[in-house]
Chain A
Amino acid sequence: MTMQTHATPGRRIPDWAWHVGLVAFAVLWWAVYHQLAPLSEWITSLLPLAPASHTAEAIAFFLYDVPKVMLLLTLIVFAMGVVRSYFSAEKTRALLSGKREGVGNVLSAGLGIVTPFCSCSAVPLFIGFVSAGVPLGVTFSFLIAAPMVNEVALVLLFGLVGWTVALTYLAFGLGIAIVAGFVIGKLRLEGWLQDWVRDIHTGASAPGLVDGARLTMVDRYKLGIQAVREIFAKVWIWIILGIAMGALIHGYVPEDLMVRIMGADAWWSVPAAVLLGIPMYTNAAGVIPIVEALLGKGAALGTVLAFMMSVIALSLPEMIILRQVLTLRLIAVFVGVVASGILTVGFLFNAIF
């Protein structure tokens, strides 16, 4: 966040200054990150609270987690912004068009992570893919992976729950995208698209991809910074609200309550979590701090992950947008297949862990 200086015309920052600035930022980041725990304890100890009381516990949790998540997000979102500058929807489409199912699904889900994607352009992207000969199932693998496996979700899981859960989420998120896309492809549902989508021939591709090849490293840094700004403008309030909510649960909600409602023994808790997640629409930032606190209080990992995946991958507003290109029957199949995948992950996790 220290690098948000605009290059003013006439006084251009030389390239080497950008590289040096980046290294200096990385060092500073590392130093601050490792001082967070003592710092938050120290600040809490200054407050007139009984140590180890519920309130003190909740405040320490809040003071440590908010800066930690913000720091992690800055680093990872910047890095992903730079990585994404090497990819574009046009390049991804060229890589995927005419790919066979199977290999195509795997490639598509992987590209879903690194291709710049905004859920508001899901429909033009869908049409662009299908009209250029990307198989329907392969397109779905992309559309499932792109929102579900995103760096904000992974950073929050890593920062608040731990790297094992973050990695597992990554693996199973990709797995669901691959398998669900493959199944939808095998069902041969091309006829269930809205009529006009099948007949469409999209115009020439944007020249953006020619442009993209000529970016300098500094251009890519700038894209990274732009990504950080955009993400922060969108999620900061959710992170603070989410972690505050988490802190309250952490300090006050009795443990056995969550174990009873969301514990591994209640078999119905996984489907309930998935159903509950569909109408909920928030970004990963809003849901994960709550997820962390639920886990801390004994909710089962599979149930919590299922809830999270359902909130992110199956959202009502997104389905309403997709209604423009998909028939209701196809949307129902899409929801059914993805929900089955999430249910499987939920039950599997509760059985294993």
Chain B
Amino acid sequence: MKQIKVYGPGCQRCDTTAEMVRGAAEKLGIAVEVEKVTDARSIAMAGVMSTPGISIDGKLVHAGGLPDPAKLDGWLTA
């Protein structure tokens, strides 16, 4: 089970990103738990300055804008 956090204050792009992560994990058959982090303080503490950000098992892999689908697959399978 991979622990995935999507950082963002709840704007539309952040929701889309969370959906993209869930969709990609399902497509790849990877068990994930997606948590949305919306509190500004926690977002900043994670080192995310532009949202949405994504971390997988505690490692920040992306910040700012929608992730590239091909790269997203790469992070999930890594």
Which residues of chain A have C-beta atoms less than 8 A from B46's C-beta? 202-203
Q: A116-B65, A324-B40, A325-B40 are in contact. Are A121 and B45 (CB under 8 A)?
A: no
Interface centre among B48, B53, B61 (most CB of A within 10 A): B48
29 contacts between A and B (CB under 8 A): A9-B70, A90-B49, A93-B49, A116-B64, A118-B13, A118-B50, A121-B9, A121-B48, A121-B50, A121-B51, A123-B40, A123-B43, A124-B7, A124-B48, A124-B51, A128-B44, A128-B48, A129-B49, A200-B45, A202-B45, A204-B60, A205-B47, A206-B60, A206-B63, A207-B61, A208-B62, A208-B63, A219-B68, A325-B40
Q: Is A127 an interface residue (CB 8 A)?
A: yes
Which residues of chain B have C-beta atoms less than 8 A from A90's C-beta? 49, 63
- 15 more contacts with CB within 8 A, not counting A118-B11, A205-B47, are A88-B50, A120-B51, A121-B48, A121-B49, A123-B40, A123-B44, A124-B44, A124-B50, A128-B49, A196-B41, A200-B44, A202-B44, A202-B46, A207-B61, A208-B62
Taken together as a complex, chains A and B put the C-alpha atoms of A343 and B44 apart, in Å, by 34
Taken together as a complex, chains A and B put the C-alpha atoms of A118 and B65 apart, in Å, by 9
Q: Is A125 an interface residue (CB 8 A)?
A: yes
Which residues of chain A have C-beta atoms less than 8 A from B43's C-beta? 121, 123-124
Report yes or no: B51 in contact with A118, Cβ–Cβ below 8 A.
yes
Q: Is A349 an interface residue (CB 8 A)?
A: no
B4-35: contact bitstring with A at CB < 8 Å (1 yes, 0 no)? 00011111011000000000000000000000
For chain B, the count of residues having a C-beta within 8 Å of the partner chain is 28
Report yes or no: B45 in contact with A226, Cβ–Cβ below 8 A.
no
- How far is the CB of B70 from the nearest CB of chain A, in Å? 8
Q: Is A86 an interface residue (CB 8 A)?
A: no
Which residues of chain A have C-beta atoms less than 8 A from B61's C-beta? 207
Q: Is A77 an interface residue (CB 8 A)?
A: no
- Which of B8, B10, B14, B64 contacts A88 (CB under 8 A)? B64
- Which A residue's beta carbon lies closest to that of B39? A324
Residues of chain A at the chain B interface (Cβ within 8 Å): 9, 88-90, 93, 116-118, 120-121, 123-125, 127-129, 131, 196, 200, 202-208, 211, 219, 223, 226, 230, 321, 324-325
Report yes or no: B49 in contact with A124, Cβ–Cβ below 8 A.
yes
Which residues of chain B have C-beta atoms less than 8 A from A118's C-beta? 11, 13, 50-51
- Which of B8, B13, B40, B53 contacts A206 (CB under 8 A)? B53
Taken together as a complex, chains A and B put the C-alpha atoms of A324 and B44 apart, in Å, by 12
Q: A121-B9, A127-B40, A226-B66 are in contact. Are A204 and B47 (CB under 8 A)?
A: yes
Report yes or no: B47 in contact with A116, Cβ–Cβ below 8 A.
no
In the A-B complex, the 4 residue pairs with the smallest Cβ-Cβ separation, listed nearest first, are A206-B63, A203-B47, A127-B44, A128-B49
- Which A residue's beta carbon lies closest to that of B70? A9
Report yes or no: B49 in contact with A206, Cβ–Cβ below 8 A.
yes
- How far is the CB of B55 from the nearest CB of chain A, in Å? 9
- How far is the CB of B50 from the nearest CB of chain A, in Å? 4
- How far is the CB of A20 from the nearest CB of chain B, in Å? 23
Q: A203-B45, A203-B46, A206-B47 are in contact. Are A120 and B62 (CB under 8 A)?
A: no
- How far is the CB of B78 from the nearest CB of chain A, in Å? 12
- How far is the CB of B21 from the nearest CB of chain A, in Å? 16
Q: A120-B8, A121-B8 are in contact. Are A208 and B64 (CB under 8 A)?
A: yes
Interface centre among B50, B62, B63 (most CB of A within 10 A): B50
Report yes or no: B53 in contact with A123, Cβ–Cβ below 8 A.
no
- How far is the CB of B41 from the nearest CB of chain A, in Å? 7
Which residues of chain B have C-beta atoms less than 8 A from A9's C-beta? 70
Which residues of chain B have C-beta atoms less than 8 A from A321's C-beta? 9, 40
Which residues of chain A have C-beta atoms less than 8 A from B45's C-beta? 200, 202-203
Which residues of chain B have C-beta atoms less than 8 A from A93's C-beta? 49
Which residues of chain B have C-beta atoms less than 8 A from A128's C-beta? 44, 47-49
- How far is the CB of A14 from the nearest CB of chain B, in Å? 17
Report yes or no: A207 in contact with B9, Cβ–Cβ below 8 A.
no
